[in-house]
Amino acid sequence: MLNLTSNFLSGVLPQEIGNLTKLQQLSLRFNKFSNGIPSSISYLKELEELKLSHNALSKEIPINIGNLSNLSILILRNNSLTGGIPSSMQKLSKLNTLRLESNLLTGEIPSWLFNFKGLKTLHLGGNNLTWNNNVKIAPKCMLSELSLTSCSLEGEIPEWISTQKTVDFLDLSKNELQGSFPQWLAEIKVEYMILSDNKLSGSLPPALFQSSRLFVLALSWNNFSGELPDNIGDAKTLYILLLDRNNFSGPIPQSISQISNLLLLDLSHNRLSGNTFPVFDPQVLLSCLDFCSNRFSGEVPTAFPQYIEILALGGNKFSGALPLNLTKLRNLQRLELQDNYISGELPNFLLHISHLQVLNNLTGEIPIGFVNLAGMIEAPHLTSISNDVILIFHELISSNIMVNVLIVNWKKSKQGLPSHNIDMYFLLDLSNNQLSGEIPASLGGLKALKMLNFSYNKLSDKIPASLSDLQNLESLDLSHNKLSGSIPTALSKLQQLTTFDVSNNQLIGRIPVGGQMDTMADPNYHANNSGLCGMQIRVPCPEDRTPAPKPQDYDNKEPWFLWEGMGIGYPVGFLLTIGIIYLAGYFNPSPPSNNHHRRPHHSIRQRV
């Protein structure tokens, strides 16, 4: 056995690897090997396990890989391998595990893969492989794991899967599957069922929740409808339940609170309604609860587990003030309340939630105590949902779990950010509220902030210069307020800033220059202010304008005696000069003589 897993090795796999003819197990996973798999690997006739996943391998799978007649485990996932699945692999009669997912493979998925009697694990998703929907499959294998995500499956869920009585991991996400949820699939007792991002419709069969071993159910991004089954709480083993972005209606069944192992519940973007909600045991470990974009009404519910980290209630019809019970949620990192009818001021008790990162839809002034939000002062090590999923759930790819999408004005465009990475973004979004008063200078202490959005409020007075202390800030949106004064020149120190929107305020003066401020040249980001100027918007400031010289009006501007003096001076000066010359004898009318005593005349001519 040769196991060099996770050793940061790089370079090209040498052809000499084929000299290890007695090798039975070869594992080079989690390294940085590049280029192709050497063809000499086919010389390893005794090889039973070949694991080359999580490298940078490219080119095609060696055509002679079928010579490895003893191979039972072949794992090449998470590389950049190209081409199709070699037909020589049909000779791998002992194959038990085949994992080729997350490569660049192309072509049709061969039906002979299902002829391996001992095949238990088949993962082909995340490539450019296509499924032939016209081929009838009669599997000779009995699979325990099947992943065909993004494989162009069409029509109803393939019925041949019903023959796989032992399958416990099924991922058919990101295909074009249609039709209803088949009864036979509800009775197979799958542990990890991922059917997200298809076109499945109809209601969910109650039998689906009678399973004693259903751990993950992901049905997001489909067209399911009807009410949720009343017996949904019978699925006691559920850890993750994702039913978001469907057309479910009616109330949430009270039994859902009986799922004591539940960590993540997403019912967002449906048509669920009602004003009564399940009462969860405070001690359950539910960390994420998303009820966004439904039709719930009444007061904000209060019976949430104390360990909850993400609570999303936006896009409903909740009304009234925020309940004081929220202060008991000590682990709360994100609270979404946007697009409701919640009234009242921003309550100070929220400041006791030390890791609070997102708030929405409140009125009043911004408390100075926001500087105590420790989750924004430094980058804390947060309990990440994605890590929980990886550690607990059978290597389930965390990127498939989308709790919600944050739409933010980030990097010069509206972007959707997956909320399970909230620990990377550090957002403070107070937009679209009725907040008033000054922006607290203490916000400059939230050093970890990357996005700060106060747009569409009633904030007034000046922009605090302390915002220049937010050295990680990438997006600052203060638009549509009543801010006045000039933009602090210190904001030019924000070297990470890519979006700066102060439009629709009452700002005046020069837009700061230097650093990233020189790139803020979009006039829309400065529009509708009282008097901003600067090179970014090509509006010169008053102090930059050099006045042009005006033509002089001598009739009005010069003293009256200037022209009068000139008119008198010329003839007087002329006559005076003639008189002097005449007295000096220069213009003597008498003819010249030989009198040598006329020295003055002779002297003057010599000087000339």
DSSP per position, 184-210: HHHTS--SEEE--SSEEEEPPPGGGGG
486, 510 contact by CB (below 8 A): yes
For residue 22, being part of any structural domain is answered with: yes
C-alpha distance from residue 101 to each of 37, 49, 82, 143, 400 (Å): 16, 17, 12, 16, 14
For residue 76, being part of any structural domain is answered with: yes
CATH number assigned to the domain comprising residue 44 = 3.80.10.10
- pLDDT of 255 reads 96
For residue 163, being part of any structural domain is answered with: no
Where does the pLDDT of residue 129 fall: very low under 50, low under 70, confident under 90, or very high at 90 and above? very high
pLDDT at 423 over 70: no
For residue 19, being part of any structural domain is answered with: yes
Instruction: Choose between 434 and 410: higher pLDDT.
Output: 434
**Cα distance between residue 95 and residue 117, in whole Å:** 8
Instruction: Choose between 198 and 338: higher pLDDT.
Output: 198
Give the domain range for residue 578.
Answer: 563-588+595-607
Percentage of the chain modeled with pLDDT above 90: 56
The structural domain count of the chain equals 2
- pLDDT of 322 reads 80
- pLDDT of 163 reads 95
For residue 63, being part of any structural domain is answered with: yes
241 burial type by CB count under 10 A (0-12 exposed, 13-18 middle, 19+ buried) = buried
Radius of gyration of the chain (CA): 41
Torsion of Cα atoms, 481 then 487 then 490 then 493, to 10°:
70
Instruction: Choose between 281 and 483: higher pLDDT.
Output: 483
Where does the pLDDT of residue 161 fall: very low under 50, low under 70, confident under 90, or very high at 90 and above? very high
pLDDT at 582 over 80: no
In this prediction, residues 394-411 reach a mean pLDDT of 38
For residue 175, being part of any structural domain is answered with: no
pLDDT digit string (tens) for 441-500?
877 877 778 888 889 888 899 999 999 999 989 999 999 999 999 999 999 999 999 999
In this prediction, residues 201-206 reach a mean pLDDT of 97
* Single residue among 113, 146, 179 that ends a domain in this structure: 146
Instruction: Choose between 261 and 530: higher pLDDT.
Output: 261
* Single residue among 146, 169, 192 that ends a domain in this structure: 146
The least confident of 283-287, 509-513, 595-599 is 595-599
**Cα distance between residue 38 and residue 28, in whole Å:** 14
184 burial type by CB count under 10 A (0-12 exposed, 13-18 middle, 19+ buried) = middle
Taking the complete model, does pTM exceed 0.85, yes or no? no
Instruction: Choose between 566 and 518: higher pLDDT.
Output: 518
The least confident of 73-87, 141-155, 273-287 is 273-287
348, 370 contact by CB (below 8 A): no
pLDDT at 298 over 80: yes
- pLDDT of 17 reads 94
For residue 60, being part of any structural domain is answered with: yes
- pLDDT of 433 reads 72
* Single residue among 82, 115, 146 that ends a domain in this structure: 146
The least confident of 77-86, 111-120, 371-380, 469-478 is 371-380
Both tokens assigned to 327 = 């202060």
Taking residue 576's Cβ as centre, other Cβ atoms within 10 Å add up to 10
**Cα distance between residue 605 and residue 608, in whole Å:** 5
Contacts of 3 (CB under 8 A, 6+ apart): 25, 27
For residue 110, being part of any structural domain is answered with: yes
The least confident of 114-118, 231-235, 305-309 is 305-309
Could you give the residue ranges of the DSSP H alpha helices within 346-503? Answer: 374-377, 385-392, 422-425
Instruction: Choose between 197 and 607: higher pLDDT.
Output: 197
pLDDT at 168 over 90: yes
- pLDDT of 560 reads 41
Could you give the residue ranges of the DSSP H alpha helices within 120-277? Answer: 183-186
Residue type, 93: S
Both tokens assigned to 559 = 């003293």
In this prediction, residues 524-533 reach a mean pLDDT of 91
pLDDT at 600 over 90: no
